[in-house]
Structure 1
Amino acid sequence: MFKLGWFSTGRDEAARLLLQTVFDRIAEGFIPAKMAYVFVSRRPGESAESDLFFKLCEDLGLQTIYLSAREFKPDLRIQDREAWRNEYHRMVLDKLPEEVDLVVLAGYMWVVSEEMCRELPMLNLHPALPGGPKGTWQEVIWQLISARAAETGVMMHRVTPVLDEGPAATFCRFSIRTDSFRSLWEACEKKLLKHGLSAILQTEGENEPLFRKIREEGVKRELPLIVYTLKAFAEGEIDWQAPELPLDLSLRIEKHLETGSWA
C-alpha cells in the first residue's frame, strides 16, 4: 500500500483541518494509502495549538514523532542557521520509523536541509501557478495585482534545496477576471492610479477587497488540491519521477467546489 509521511508544526486550526481531511479521505478509501507517521516540529506542552494537534493525532490513532525545533540548539540556530538546519533535520531523519512513498509538508514552518531533500520525496504547497510569482502568499497576491494578472492558481511542488524552486507535481488554475472580480479590479485600479501600490499596502494592506477576494479563492482550492494530488500519487496516475508532470487538476477541483462531493 502507498505510504504517506506527514510533517507539520501544528500551529493552528488550519493544520488540524488539513490532517483531518486527508485522514478522512484515506479512511473512506478515496485516497488508497496509509498514513505511516506524523512528524511535529514542536513537543507536547510547547503551545496550546500544537497540543490540540497532538490530541488530534492521538484521537486518529496516528503514530506521532516530534522534536522541538525551537528548543533544539538555539545558540547554533542564531549563530549558523544552515548548520543548525542540517543538524536538526539529521536528527529528524534518525527518528522517522519507516520509509514512505511520499511526504507532505502541511503547515511545516521550517526550511528543510539539503540532506532531507535528498532522502525524502517531499511535496509542499505554493499559492501560485507553475512559473508564477514566488514568495509568501501575501507577496504572491500583491505581485498579481501589480501585474494586473488575469489568472492565478495553486500548485504542489517537489521540495528541493532551493526554496520554492522545486518542479511542480500538480496544479489548478482559476480566473481572477470573472464577474465577481470586476468591480473589485475597477476600484483597485482607481486607487493604484491615484496613490500607487505602496500606499495601498500601508493604508489597507491585506484588508484591500481585491486582495481578500484573490486570497479567498486560492484558499478554498488548497485543501482539494492536496487531496486530489495524494489520490493521483497513490493510484499511480502520476509518479515521483514521471516526465509528464505537472498534472492539471483544475477540472476535478472545480467540480468538487460545485458539488461538495469527492469524486
Structure 2
Amino acid sequence: MFELGWFSTARGKGSRNLLTAVLDSIQKGELKARISFVFCSREPGESAETDAFFELVKNYKIPLVTFSYQKYKTRVNGNDEIPGSILPQWRLDYDREVINRLKEYNPQLCVLAGYMLIMGPEMCSRYNIINLHPATPWGPKGTWKEVIWELMQQKAAETGAMIHLVTPELDRGPVVSYCRFPIQTDSLKPLWDSIAKRTVNDIKTAEGEDNSLFKAIRHQETIRELPLIVRSIKAISEGRVNIRKGQVTDNCGQTIPGYDLSAEIDHLIQGRE
C-alpha cells in the first residue's frame, strides 16, 4: 500500500476539505493508498478550527502527531522569520524535532495541505513533499489573491494550478503536475469588458475581491484544486510520475517539466463550471 504523510496547520475548513477529499478517494478505491500519519503544527486548544480538524482525524482513526510552532517559538525566544531568507537556527531545530517525532513512519510521499511553515533543508531531504500553488508553472508567484490580481493586470489568456516538490526556496521546487484552463472565454468576456478601462488598483480600491471577474477566476481555480491534488497523488502512486533525488521523472525515468493533468481534471469537473 502506498504510504502518505499529511502536514497541516489546520487553520480552517479548507484543510478539512483537502483531507476529506483524499480519504474519500481512498475509500472509494480510486486511490490505492493510506495516510499513515497526520502532523499538525498546532496542539489541542490553540484554535477552534484546528480542534475541529483534530476531531476529523480522530474519526478516521489516523495517527495524529502535534507539535506547536507558536509555543516552541515562545519557549526558545525565536525571532520572526524573514520570507526569502535563510531559516534561523531555532526554526531548523523545530524541523529536526518534527522529524524525530515522526521517526516511526516511512511515508513514500508527504502532502502539505494548509501547512503554513516553510520547510528547511533537512526536512526536504528527509521526505518527498508536495504542495499546491494556484498558478501554472509559468504563471505568477505569490498567494492565490496575488496571482489573480496579476492575471487581471496582464489580461492573461489562461491560468491553472500546479503541484510542486517542496524545497527550502518557497514555491520554486520542480513541478510534479499541473492543469491549465482558459480565462479569456465567451462566458467571461462580459466581465473582462467591464474592467477594460479600469486599472487593477482602481478595482482593488472600489470592489476588492468582490469584483465579478476576480470571483469568476477564483471559482474556476478552486473547483480544480482538490481534483488536482487527488489525481497527482494517484499518478505518483501508480508510477506514472516519479520523484527521485529531487527530480521528477516519467515512468521511463526521463526527467519531465511536470505531468499535464488538464484533460483528466476537465473531465472530472464537467457540470461544475
TM-score (norm 1): 0.93
The one of 249, 261, 265 aligned to 1:253 = 265
Counterpart in 2 of 1:159?
Answer: 166
In the alignment, the residues of structure 2 paired with residue 51 and residue 79 of structure 1 have an alpha-carbon distance, to the nearest angstrom, of 25
1:212 equivalent in structure 2? 215
Per the alignment, in what secondary structure is the counterpart of residue 7 of structure 2?
Answer: strand
After the TM superposition, which segments of 4 or more aligned residues of structure 1 sit over 3 Å from their partners?
A: none
Q: Distance in 1 between matches of 2:180 and 2:46?
A: 38
Contact 1:102 1:121 (C-alpha < 8 Å) held by counterparts: yes
- The CA RMSD over aligned residues, in Å, is 1.4
Partner of 2:105: 98
* Cross-structure match for 1:238: 241
Report the equivalent of 1:189: 196
Displacement of 1:78 after TM fit? 2.3
Q: 1:171 corresponds to which residue?
A: 178
SS at match of 2:119: coil
Q: Residue type matched to 2:14 in 1?
A: A
Match of 1:37 in 2: 37
Greater shift in the superposed pair: 61-70 or 250-259: 250-259
Q: Give the 5 Å matches for 1:99-118.
A: 99-118=106-125
- 2:95 aligned to 89, 93, 98, which one? 89
Aligned length: 256
Return the letter of the residue paired with 1:218: E
Task: Name the stretch that deviates more: 176-185 or 76-85.
Answer: 76-85
Letter in 1 for 2:78: R
Task: Find the residue that maps to 1:170 and give its secondary structure.
Answer: strand
Where 2:78 maps in the other structure, the secondary structure is: helix
1:142-200 CA distances to partner (integer Å, 9 max, x unpaired)? 1111111000000000011111111110000000011221000000112x2xxx22222
- Point out where structure 1 has 5 or more consecutive residues left out of the alignment: none
C-alpha distance in 2 between matches for 1:42 and 1:88: 13
- Determine if contact 2:111/2:129 at 8 Å carries over to the other structure: yes
Q: Distance in 2 between matches of 1:165 and 1:76?
A: 30
CA contact (8 A) 1:238 1:245 kept: no
Give me the whole-angstrom Cα distance separating, in 2, the residues matched to 1:249 and 1:133.
19
Q: 1:201 aligns with which of 201, 204, 209?
A: 204
CA distance in 2, matches of 1:220, 1:77: 38
Gaps of 5+ in 2: 82-86, 250-254
SS in 2 for 1:223: helix
Write out aligned runs for 1:57-136 (5 A). Answer: 57-74=57-74, 76-78=77-79, 82-96=88-102, 97-136=104-143
Q: If each structure's helix is expressed as a fraction of its own residues, which one has the higher value?
A: 1
Deviation at 1:79, TM superposition (A): 5.6
CA deviation vs aligned residue, 1:17-45 (integer Å, no higher than 9, x gap): 11011011112221111211000111011
**Identity within the alignment, %:** 44
Task: Report the Cα distance in structure 2 between the residues aligned to 1:229 and 1:247, rounded to whole angstroms.
Answer: 9
Which residue of the other structure, out of 224, 228, 231, is the alignment partner of 1:228?
231
- Report the alpha carbon displacement of residue 245 of structure 1 after superposing the two structures with TM: 4.3
Letter of the 1:246 partner, please give it: G
Q: 1:76 Cα deviation (Å)?
A: 3.3
